[in-house]
Amino acid sequence: MAKLIYVSNVSLDGYIEDEHGSFDWTAPSDEFFAFITDLVRPVGTYLYGRRLYESMAVWETDPALSAQSELMGDFANVWQAAEKVVYSTTLGAVPTAKTRLERDFDPDSVRDIKASATSDLTVGGANLAAHAFKAGLVDECHLFVYPVLVGGGKPSLPRDTRAELELLDERRFGNGVVYLRYRVSL
């Protein structure tokens, strides 16, 4: 069975964005960008909330972005190769290929996807990830902890869910970001 992996950039004080919705502090270095690309290269399906999907869709809808560098082109190719499922009650349509729109998060449907998938899945967006955590679907948590305090905003991890975590891997990058990979035990 495939794993469902939560991947998130997070401030040291636990937020994915500040109180104004900004995450400009997450700009990656080349070393970090290459690592993330290799990390998600084997992923077969991305599960997204609307806001994160809209941020990521540019990797397909804006060809100038991928033309900026070899690293960016590689990431765009990796992103476009995977299936995407977007959970939104407000999005009218999806502008990218290999993408389907779901109105509601259905834990049983995600269990079925995991059971039949030949490669791992990621869940992105803190709100969607909170649903996946509460349903006991998240197998691993990959956090990229940035050396910044934002003082408030949207929490990266659900506040009302308890889980035991086992550290599987860690890495420090030259820009001060620390990668932490955990196995989740709910």
Determine the pLDDT at residue 186: 64
Determine the pLDDT at residue 28: 86
Q: Are 122 and 6 in contact (CB under 8 A)?
A: yes
Determine the pLDDT at residue 146: 97
Under 8 Å CB-to-CB from 115, ≥6 apart: which residues? 1, 2
Coil, helix or strand at residue 155: strand
In tens, the pLDDT along 104-131 reads: 999 999 999 999 999 999 999 999 999 9
1 has pLDDT over 90: no
In tens, the pLDDT along 49-73 reads: 999 999 999 999 999 998 999 999 9
What percent of the chain is helix, strand and coil (3-state, nearest 5)? 30, 30, 40
Say whether pTM exceeds 0.85.
Answer: yes
In tens, the pLDDT along 93-104 reads: 999 999 999 999
Domain 4-121+132-158: what homologous superfamily?
Dihydrofolate Reductase, subunit A (3.40.430.10)
Dihedral pair phi/psi, residue 170, rounded to 5°: -155, 155
Coil, helix or strand at residue 61: helix
In tens, the pLDDT along 133-179 reads: 999 999 999 999 999 999 999 999 999 889 999 999 999 999 999 99
